[in-house]
Structure 1
């Protein structure tokens, strides 16, 4: 095979330098802008491009996790991050570890079959325990809180449709563990149980919330301690494969060659893999931190929320131990103007049409919060990756042997990525996709790349 030449990607596809500051990055880790060696290594066994959830999880599974053989020689692993470590979507999300597939199960069953849909539902639910076990094992201080979550519906027709689908799936025994974890409340009790004004029906189920930056940086620290070479402020502007089968990444600091490469850049993936252009598209979202003045009276919130409003708008909320709340969504304010969010990589500015959305949010939507003076302390944006078929793309890239992708998590990576990357590491070690525990519908294939659909009017999950 002849070598392929890496063409520099347009700078418009790379992360911008001066991003908004999310709450999660107000207490920075010592590895935030770390470079393990002054110069970029010229060679390594495995190169990871992207220093967020997926890239950090991959490094941990390779070098420090229970699947790595710490008694034998480990592969040399280098992780390249364009900006600071964990400065992208992972540090800009809602800190919400919340399975959310039941509402989509009917459509998944129609598209992929009962077995595949059930597999996906159980996979997401299993992440809550997996992350809980990880935090306990590694003794990570990241505000991890196991709780329940409400999925709130304020539209009668939507609530009725979701409820009917739930009971049909439950009666059929599909995704039993997931279905058994759900509790449905409707009518007058729904508003009282959820605490949300206008709620006509709600599910409650197991979920968790945490400080995502602290979790990821603790895992990154473990990886560095086990030999990871971390190189922040090192954007990859192109990759190529040689006739010998190795991969070379081009950066402003020089080139590095690896036996295998993992592209873990989510919404920015088409900058390195142009075949995913139009298949995985960067989409901008907005998030906030709401603070409550001291000594004010209001009902205590200890559950997380997904709030679904008429017209398809979907917000989500987590309470924090310091009394503040993280609230994200606001898509009803900007969804019709694609120029503000679609194919946008700029997280240095706000979405102006949504910048005031979270003002008086608690007062407007939660019972008993009308007079407490809760206000927006901080607001920021982040870049997600959306797929044309709404399913993440994972596995060896078709036609690119030794190059693996994990991207397009639809703003819903928290209950997906950890075990996905454990599976990806198994793929690097030669296992078949069908044997590594990743939902089969996540597999990136030529058929998916060749489909004629493009990312268009997409909607977020929590």
Structure 2
């Protein structure tokens, strides 16, 4: 099995076709010898951490971000372009696994996180194609649709605050509401689509302008087992070593390559996304796809077969193709190779639009690009946020289960408060089930959890 480190020559996602000037930036010719904080990873988590560590902070922290490849070249730069809190199926999955209180806490956190992203984009005037859309959890299998309807009935009788934003569409209207063939039942709710690379690069540019040292193409190969006599941790890279009083692991799927205690807790999983472009406009009324975003469920509550998001230019970002490769575990499970495609998934996308949308049977489309990305799956279906157990000065912000956009920003904000202000985790606003701890890691190892306890996502 491949080692948990980024590989060279990754496939090129659509989001990385308009590169920012900081894409391969190095703030200084050499990496700094000593810093207050080193952040490993220049994706959404790393950029958001830098943003909040600097925000309203009168102290002059020296911060370096180390990135193995180009900036935002990992999961954030390879996802489906959604900002989509999981208000029904995700909440139901967590309720079944961890109880209603925990499910509600995580669900409301995702809603708050999505709101915070929108506010951040507006406050900082970030041009990232942020658009409000209606999304859906949609079922095409009759048996699974029946299960989903029963689940809806059960949850409607419970105190489940996220359900107030969800609308149920039964068999008589699901197809009309979604525009998707054979839709048996759908649950719609508000969401957003965006250009994730542009969001992250704007945050990184702001951080660099404020003095953050960004070092791309600088892999961290090893972090010392202990801090030295000055309470500094040593990070080894191909370009030499650097030391820091605090080190934040914002490298998601790759965390166990540097912290072996997370080997059972967070594992890499390879997924696929593509961009589909209509060659000519479909005949009305097919052109107007009713929903701006949707997850097509093949089974409830565990499986997304595919999902899509619409772009302003009428192209469609489609991810998943899960059924084509899921049983071949070597193609995705603990597979860190995003330099090659998941070959069985490629032909799946060729006829996806004609198979999926009502009225698109004769619409000519082309698959403009296909790429892979590596998600960091958590064995108990929750991110790991907070101080690394028994290693003072090390912090985790990883394990987002292919669902980082509705979680990362406020996780980073909460962790920044812990680091800057000594804030206890319980006062960060981050769900308690997200806190990384020795007890949690031990429980995962003892149960030998090798996959998500809830939804098995394929949305990078």
Do structure 1's residue 345 and structure 2's residue 336 form an aligned pair? Answer: yes
Change (3 A) 1:446 1:185: same
Cross-structure match for 2:433: 441
* Cα-to-partner distance string for 1:368-397 (whole Å, 9 max, x where unaligned): 111111121100000011111121111111
Can you give the 5+ residue segments of structure 1 that lack an aligned partner in the other structure? 1-9
Could you tell me which residue of structure 2 aligns to residue 223 of structure 1?
A: 207
- Cα 1:243–1:160 shift into 2, 3 Å: farther
Give the equivalent residue in structure 2 for 1:152.
138
Find the counterpart in structure 2 of residue 94 from structure 1: 80
Indicate how the Cα distance of structure 1 residues 26 and 32 shifts in structure 2: closer, same or farther if over 3 A, else same: same
Aligned to 1:453: 447
Shift of 1:75: 0.8
Q: Residue 195 of structure 1 is aligned with which of 174, 179, 184? A: 179
SS state at 1:58 partner: helix
Match in the other structure for 2:354: 363
Equivalent position to 1:336, from 327, 331, 352 = 327
Is the partner of 1:248 in helix, strand or coil? strand
1:290 paired residue among 272, 276, 284: 276
2:301 equivalent to 1:307: no
List structure 1 runs of 4+ shifted beyond 6 angstroms: none
What secondary structure sits across from 1:135 in the alignment?
helix
Aligned partner of residue 244 in structure 1, secondary structure:
coil
What is the alpha-carbon distance in structure 2 between the residues aligned to residue 259 and residue 173 of structure 1?
44
Q: Structure 1 CA distance, aligned partners of 2:333 and 2:458?
A: 16
Once the two structures are superposed, residues 238-287 of structure 1 have per-residue CA deviations (whole angstroms, 9 ceiling, x without a partner) of 11122332211111111111111100111011111011112211110011
1:62 is displaced (CA, Å) by: 1.1
User: Offset of 1:303 from its aligned partner?
Assistant: 1.6
Contact between 1:14 and 1:271, CA under 8 Å: does it hold in 2? yes
The equivalences for 1:57-456 within 5 A come to: 57-63=48-54, 65=55, 68-69=56-57, 72-174=58-160, 176=161, 178-240=162-224, 241-297=227-283, 298-301=286-289, 302-310=291-299, 312-429=303-420, 430-451=422-443, 452-456=446-450
Q: Secondary structure at the match of 1:118?
A: helix
- Aligned counterparts of 2:187 and 2:30: Cα–Cα separation in 1: 52
Q: Distance in 2 between matches of 1:354 and 1:455?
A: 27
Q: Distance in 1 between matches of 2:458 and 2:413?
A: 23
Quick check: 1:316–1:327 contact (8 Å CA) kept in 2?
yes
The whole-number CA distance in structure 2 between the counterparts of 1:351 and 1:172 is 41
Change (3 A) 1:47 1:346: same
Q: Are the aligned partners of 1:386 and 1:455 in contact in 2 as well (CA < 8 Å)?
A: no
| Cα distance in 2 for residues equivalent to 1:348 and 1:201 | 37
SS in 2 for 1:188: coil
CA distance in 2, matches of 1:49, 1:132: 25
Q: CA 1:244 to 1:425, structure 2 compared with 1: closer, same or farther past 3 Å?
A: same
In the alignment, which of 10, 18, 26 is matched to residue 35 of structure 1? 26
Distance (whole Å) between structure 2 residues aligned to residue 95 and residue 161 of structure 1: 29
**Alpha-carbon deviation of 1:110?**
4.8
Tell me the alpha carbon deviations over residues 14-70 of structure 1, each in whole angstroms, 9 at most, x when there is no partner: 11110000000000000000000111100111110011111111011112x4xx23x
CA contact (8 A) 2:281 2:363 kept: no
Contact 1:389–1:453 (CA under 8 A) maintained in structure 2:
no
Pair 1:45–1:60, CA change in 2 (3 A): same
Q: Secondary structure at the match of 1:309?
A: strand
What is the alpha-carbon distance in structure 2 between the residues aligned to residue 11 and residue 33 of structure 1? 25
What SS does the corresponding residue of 1:242 show, helix, strand or coil? Answer: coil
Please report how far the alpha carbon of residue 236 of structure 1 lies from its aligned counterpart in structure 2 after TM superposition: 0.3
What SS does the corresponding residue of 1:13 show, helix, strand or coil? coil
Between the aligned partners of 1:408 and 1:457, the Cα distance in structure 2 is: 12
State the Cα distance separating 1:165 from its structure 2 match.
2.5
Aligned length: 446
The alpha carbon displacement at 1:334 in A equals 0.7
Aligned residues of 2:387 and 2:393 also touching (Cα < 8 A):
yes
Q: CA deviation at 1:313?
A: 4.1
Alpha-carbon contact 1:280-1:455 (below 8 Å) kept: no
Structure 1 CA distance for aligned equivalents of residues 15 and 448 of structure 2: 32
5+ long unaligned stretches in structure 2? none
Conserved 8 A contact 1:388-1:453: no
